[in-house]
Structures are given as C-alpha cells and as structure tokens.
Amino acid sequence: MAFGSRSSQAVLVLGFLAIIYGVPACQVVVDLRRQRPVQATDLFRNVPSVKNLRSFERALETTWWGQESIRPAIQEALYLSLRDAGAKAIAGRDGWLFYRPGVDYLIARDRQEIESTDSLWAPPPTDRTRRDSVVRAIVEYRLQLQQRGIELLVVPVPGKASVYPDKLTRRFASHPDDFRSPTEDLLEELDRQGVPTVQLFDAFRQARRNDSASSSDRAYFLACDTHWTPEGAAVAARAVAEGVRKLGWTCESPFEYGTEEVRVRRRGDIGEMTLIPALARNCGSEEVCCGQILDPLVGPMVPLRGGRAGRFKNDHLIDTPMEASLLVLGDSFCRIYQCAEPASLGEVVESESAPTPAEASGNSKRMLPGSAGFPSRLAYELKSPVDCVVSDGGAATEVRQRLSVDSEILENKRIVIWEFAERDVQLGEAGWNNVPLPPEP
C-alpha cells in the first residue's frame, strides 16, 4: 500500500510538473516556429516592475499557443455542461446575453487609484477613486473648451444591465426601476461641478414605464449584443436634443430631414467575443427596423468618399453651405447603424424604396444600414447637421486624441457632446488621460 501510494504521488507530481513546464516549453517552440521573439525572455529584458509584469501577463493571455486551439474546446464544453458563457459574457434570462465587464462595473466598489510608477514594489493607493479621476478629466476638458467659447455636454450611456436588470436576474423581475447604477453618482458629482449632463438612465426608465402602461413589447437593447436597438438610439437622441436646447442652442436655419424604414438583420457581438460556437449559434440574429435619416438633397447622411469619417456635408449642392455647429465624440454606440461595420455582424433585409448606402471599400465592411444611428437621429431631432468623431471602445481618451491633431474639426463648433459607455468609468486615471485641444488655426 505504501509503495502504491508513493507511486500515485509520483505520478501526480510528474503530471503537475509536465503541465507547469510543458505549457511554456510549447510556447517557446511556437514562438520559434513563427519566427518571433520568445516571449518568456521579456521577463529578463525589462525591469521587473508592476507595470511591466502586468504587461507581460496580458501578452501571455493574448499570444498563448492554445488561445485558438485548446481554449475554445474547453469553453464549449463548459457552456454545454454548465451554461458557463466564459470570461466575456453572462447568460441572462429569456436568452439574453450580457457583457461581463459591463456587469462587473455595476457590482464592484469604486476602487482607489494607484500611483503610476515603475517601482519594484507595489505602490500604495492614493486618496482618489477612479470616479474622482474621471470627474477631474472631464472638468479639465470642459475648461479647455470654454476657453474656445465651446460648451461641453456629457452623456454617459447606460449599459444593457442598467436598463434591463430584470433580464439579468430575477431579483429585479417585478421592479426593474429599483436598480441604480453607480454612474448616476458620477452624474450627480458632475452636476455639482457645474458640468452639463444628460441623464439617460431616467430617460430609459420612463420609456420602459410608458411601454408597460401601453403593453408595448419594444426593446431598447439587442438581446445578444452590447448595444442599443434603433429605438434605444432614438430615446437617447431625444433626451440629448433636449439637453442641447437647455444650453441655449437653437438652429438658425431648421432643416427638415426625411426618414425611411430599413430592416436590418444583426448578429450579436457578445456571441462573437466569447469564441464559443454553441453559444454563438444559440444567439442567432435579430431583425430590427431602422429609421434611416435622409437629407432631401443627397439622401443618407454618410461621409463623402475620401472625406473624414463622421463628417457629412451637402454644401456642394446648395448655395449656402451648412456647417455643423455640434460635434459628437463617441464610441460604438455612435457607430452602430451609422457607420460601416464588419460584414459578419449582419445585412440589410429590406428597404422601402431608396437604395441603402453602398458597401464601404473592400469586402470586410458594409453599411448596416448607415445614417440610422445616434448622430443622424440627433440631427433629425435638432433639425441641424451634426459632426462626429467615433472610436470603438475609445471614447474616454482616443476620440480626444484624434481631435487634438485636427484643428479643422472644431471650426465653427458651439457644443461638444461627449458620449461614452458607462463601463469606461472603471478605467479611471489609466484610461482618462488629459488631452489638449488642437491648436487654434
């Protein structure tokens, strides 16, 4: 018995050592075969600081040799047996999927910031929280804009779990209005700092209450996607238009835009992010009706070929050029239904009469359907053209960096509308850098 016990222990130890050393050994072989630097040597090339070790850890996760071969099979088995949707998703009720980082933001406490340093030891936390850092970045940016005579309107977009907590858990099944997002505390702090904001959380609560009273089954978010439906974009556009008017802005020459109904079939991005084939198949696709906004002179409001993405102009067709005095800085909530998107996300099903915008150059992207997203809906509500700078996942800093190198974008602007997904608040100081405005022309 003792010999058998020792043999079993030896087998377990050898198996454990094979796993511990076998995985990095295989990674070295893969790196050499792909003719790229051996990643393990990064430990010796860089100073072992907190920053460098975190960077090394993230690189391991993204370049591991089993990322595309072993991990999907394991995740598939876990999903089929335990309904585990993996690290990127949470399976909700009635077939709904939620983006896990967005849910984690809602339930996690606001963390204290850590001083940025290359010390060998972990730096102590500061007296600032991540929300404090976001407020400071927004207030600083507003001051820069005010020096140019431009107002700032801040618009955090609720995540799907904030609007539909009842689809995430039974706890809110009968009273979804009871859920309060931590982003609402951010809005209150910005109000105390004198920064104009738009409270979309209340706008969606009111929309759902109205639907409940009228027995409507409208959905404001896609069931298997992180983004809103066209109806959700319209709710947001109406609320933001009201906020713009409260700032005293009025359109000097109201412009009447037309609308056209276009049906689009979309495949959810959450299923694709999980890399679990069975989950992606269960998601299927959702058909939504988009209200495409049409300029009476040129049709769909999409950028001219060769022009800056996000800028629509029709001044080549009229005697008096229409220059937008409003600029939207936003993320994928501005891109969806508005700009060219990956072809894998869906296709146009049906258009009433006028042809939908042509596909973008190349075969990888198409308009789905174009001119039906938040920027065009806002132009429709305000009866005035709207410029936009859009970066998927980059509304905290990247859109401002793009603006900082192009002074033309801010010409004749009176209001900047800064839209960002609420989960970006958790990035704190690391994701909300101070970015200067472009030099004045």
Summarize pLDDT for 384-404 with one digit per residue, the tens. 989 999 999 999 999 999 999
Report the alpha-carbon distance of residue 408 to residue 403 in Å, rounded. 9
CA angle, 73 then 79 then 83, to 5°: 170
| Letter string b/e over residues 386-403, b meaning 16 or more CB atoms within 10 A of that residue's CB | bbbbbbeebbbbbbbebb
DSSP string, 224-250: TSSSB-HHHHHHHHHHHHHHHHHTT--
Q: What is the pLDDT of residue 316?
A: 45
Confidence of residue 310 (pLDDT cuts 50, 70, 90): low
Mean pLDDT, residues 300-316 taken together:
62
| Statement: residue 52 has pLDDT above 80 | no
d(Cα 396, Cα 399) in Å, to the nearest integer? Answer: 7
Question: What's the CA angle centered on 267, arms 270 and 299, to 5 degrees?
Answer: 120
Q: Where are the beta strands (DSSP E) in 42-179?
A: 89-91, 97-99, 112-114, 125-129, 151-157
Which residues contact residue 332 at a Cβ distance below 8 angstroms, ignoring those fewer than 6 apart? 226, 227, 390, 392, 393, 421
pLDDT over 70 at 427, yes or no: yes
Residue 79 neighbours by CB distance under 10 Å: 20
Residue with tokens 């936390």: 125
Helices (H) and strands (E) in the chain, counts: 16, 14
pLDDT digits (tens, 9 = 90+) for 53-109: 777 677 766 666 556 666 677 777 777 776 777 888 999 999 899 999 999 999 987
pLDDT 10s digits, 103-155: 999 998 777 666 555 454 555 555 678 899 999 999 999 999 999 999 999 99
Percentage of residues of the chain with pLDDT beyond 90: 48
Task: Say what the pLDDT of residue 317 is.
Answer: 47
Give backbone dihedrals phi and psi of 3, rounded to 5 degrees, phi first.
-65, -45
**Closest to 92 measured CA to CA, from 171, 200, 158:** 171
Instruction: Provide mean pLDDT across the span 174-180.
Output: 90
User: Using omega within 30 degrees of 0 as the cis cutoff, is the peptide bond preceding 369 cis?
Assistant: yes
**Tokens at 53, concatenated:** 């070790």
Distance CA 184, CA 199 (A): 8
235 within 8 A of 206, measured Cβ to Cβ: no
Quote the pLDDT of residue 284: 78
Q: Phi/psi at 411 (nearest 5 deg)?
A: -60, 130
More confident residue, 253 or 172: 172
Q: Please answer whether residues 322 and 382 qualify as being in contact, where contact means their C-beta atoms are separated by less than 8 angstroms.
A: no
State the DSSP code for 431.
T
Which of 73, 100, 96, 86 is closest to 274 using CA atoms? 86
Per residue in 269-288, pLDDT (tens digit) is 998 888 777 777 777 789 99
Phi-psi region of 86 (alpha: psi -120 to 50; beta: other; left: phi over 0): left
- At a CB cut-off of 8 Å and minimum separation 6, what does 41 contact? none
Tally the C-alpha atoms within 13 A of residue 380's C-alpha that lie toward its C-beta: 26
Of the candidates 337, 146, 124, the one whose C-alpha atom is nearest the C-alpha of residue 231 is 337
Determine the Cα–Cα distance for residues 329 and 390; give it in Å rounded to an integer: 6
What tens digit of pLDDT does each residue of 354-368 get?
Answer: 455 544 444 568 888
pTM of the model: 0.83
Higher-pLDDT residue of 173 and 234 is 234
User: How far apart are the C-alpha atoms of 291 and 328, rounded to whole Å?
Assistant: 20
Let me know if 60 is exposed, middle or buried by CB neighbors in 10 A (0-12, 13-18, 19+): middle
- Residue 345 pLDDT: 84
Average pLDDT score, the chain = 83
How far is 243 from 97, CA to CA, in rounded Å? 31
